[in-house]
Chain A
Amino acid sequence: MEEVIETEKLAKRYGDISAIEGLDLRVHAGEVFGFLGPNGAGKTTTIRVLTTLTKPTSGNAWVNGFDVVNEPDKVKKVIGVVQQHLSLDRDLTVRENMEFRARLHQLGASERKKRIDELLDYVGLTEHANRIVNELSGGMKKRVSIVSSLMHQPKVLFLDEPTVGLDAQTRRRLWELIRRLNLDGTTIFLTTHYIEEAEALCQRVGIIHMGRLIARGKPLELRQKLGLVTVELLVNNKETRYQYFADRAAATSYVQNLPPDVKTIIIRESNLEDVFVEETGRKVGDD
């Protein structure tokens, strides 16, 4: 299988603080790879290293076969990056922002126009093309941000927390867009701390905690390893405990034999949050 992103013992340290450590990643061509972890886990640092914005302290990383340290210009030609913050010039129109990115990627005049029209149509923003970005809603701004990063038809799209701060409906519309981009052939590297986002979009995930990759694989495989069914127990009205089982029958049988001090019992499907909690002893949302 062709690897589009590959890292080998990748590390980035800021003084005594280690942002990422010994990171070994493989992202296959054509997949949506989710990089899951709490705030400050090292997700954004990883994206910054892979997109040539930050140099690693040690280790190696390649994007589409190009070394991110020694061949940054080649890397820049094959990647699109949507940063967590809106990196748009909010005094310009939607079309001007897109043209600005197209010019930075050295597209010719006719190609620029064709590509802008195509992408505006792709995300349903044609009628908003001449509006100043500052006047748009949060979801529209994010869509502009995404299509602006696609002007030069990148092979890999890096999305850093793409739905942070958006309402549920807008988030789902963006998920549709991400799926569509992937179906059209773009490999997507997505960071998120939303479990449901990783489960909804990603064919494979890597879970990062305190700069280290603690688990990776297909979401279903990771859950199977842990147990597909979770039993949540409230013991003595204060302590919540989790037990994992291969199937619902095993979980039900366990619950029937519980002692009387166990008050609340929830039986549900396990998720990636459970995988994270078991690996780290913390929840994804904990700082």
Chain B
Amino acid sequence: MVNVLGDIYSVLWVDLRFLRRHWLRTLATSIVSPILYLVAFGFGLGRGISFGDYSYLDFVIPGIIALTAMNGSYGGAGLKLHVDRLFYRCFEEYLLSPISLFSLAVGKALIGVVRGLIASVALLVVSVVISPSLVVGPLFVLVLVISCFVFSFLGVLVGLVAKSHQDMGTFSTLVILPMTFLSGTFFSLSQLPDAVKAVLYVLPLTHSSETLRAAALEQPFPWLSFLALLVFGVVFFAGCMIALKRTSV
């Protein structure tokens, strides 16, 4: 067990060194988009809209935090791995070492978790100031961390299977971008037709937004979405392991 943790940290270490050297740039690029969304949707478009007891700003902030967690984690884990594999071509050094594929998958995902959490916490600090009614309790933190893991494993999976830089771009355009706008981040899914809703519930960000929002606004907690989020995490992790086994053959 100690060896496994040591190996995971060894994999994470190299990405932490990079992050330490470029932390300001990383932080700035991670929170520019969410702050723009906050200004455009929260203060611009949503001014005057309310949902009973809470304002549109209260509604949209947990969604934007979920979105930030997704982008930070997915990009943080996937893009660096992709560059290491196809551009620097140093990824095989991991496969030439005696560390296990489990340690490699988790270690590579952890840098995404770290980057997702840094960006989310930075945004959370801004959010709590502008919307003090948000509740940041243990359940909120738990969902945020799990969301970061889910999207990090997705990033690792895509980083491992993408055969070119274009593949990464294509996945971002066809999956990540639609997920950004359609997963209940900026609007409630309750008003949508059932058929559309069914499609949107296949996206992990939908469950991340709903669970974070319920925790932050102290609404009844959607345990089914929480479970769905865990299932997504397990599926993406299993995908990473399969992709790694294929890479090492």
Contact = CB atoms under 8 A, between A and B. Distances in A.
A89 interface: yes
Contacts of A54: 249
A175 interface: no
Nearest to A89: B90
A104 B7 CA distance: 7
Interface stretch (A26-34, A73-81, A176-184, A275-283): A73-81
Contacts of B11: 104
Interface in B93-110: 93-99
Nearest to B14: A100
Given A106-B6, A106-B7, A76 B88 contact: no
B223 interface: no
A96 B15 CA distance: 11
B25 interface: no
A267 interface: no
Contacts of B93: 87, 100-101, 104
B84 interface: yes
B166 interface: no
A104 to B, nearest CB: 4
Contacts of B249: 54-55
Nearest to B13: A103
Contact of B248 (A53, A87, A89): A53
B163 interface: no
Nearest to A101: B93
A76 B10 contact: no
B139 to A, nearest CB: 36
Interface string A91-113: 11000100011011110000000
B3 A53 contact: no
Interface in B12-58: 13-14, 17-18, 21
Nearest to A102: B10
Given A55-B249, A92-B18, A103-B13, A76 B90 contact: no
Nearest to B9: A103
B14 A83 contact: no
A51 interface: yes
A88 interface: yes
A89 B3 CA distance: 24
A173 interface: no
B92 interface: yes
Contacts of B6: 106
A77 B89 CA distance: 21
A90 interface: yes
Contacts of B97: 76, 101, 104-105
B47 to A, nearest CB: 43
B92 A87 contact: yes
Given A87-B89, A101-B93, A76 B21 contact: no
A128 interface: no
A189 B201 CA distance: 55
A85 interface: yes
B242 to A, nearest CB: 16
Contacts of A76: 96-98
Contact of B84 (A81, A89, A104): A89
Contacts of B13: 100, 103
A52 B245 CA distance: 12
Nearest to A74: B98
Contacts of B3: 106
B94 A104 contact: yes
Contact of B17 (A51, A79, A83, A92): A92
Given A76-B96, A76-B98, A96 B89 contact: no
Nearest to A93: B17
Contacts of A83: 89, 92
Contacts of B10: 100, 103-104, 106
A64 to B, nearest CB: 14
Given A92-B17, A92-B18, A77 B98 contact: yes
Contact of A87 (B14, B18, B90, B99): B90
Contact of B88 (A52, A87, A96): A87
Contact of B14 (A77, A81, A85, A89): A89
B84 to A, nearest CB: 7
Nearest to B6: A106
B98 A81 contact: no
B235 to A, nearest CB: 26
A267 B93 CA distance: 47
Contacts of B95: 52-53
Q: Which 5 A-B pairs have the closest CB atoms?
A: A104-B97, A103-B10, A87-B90, A100-B14, A76-B98
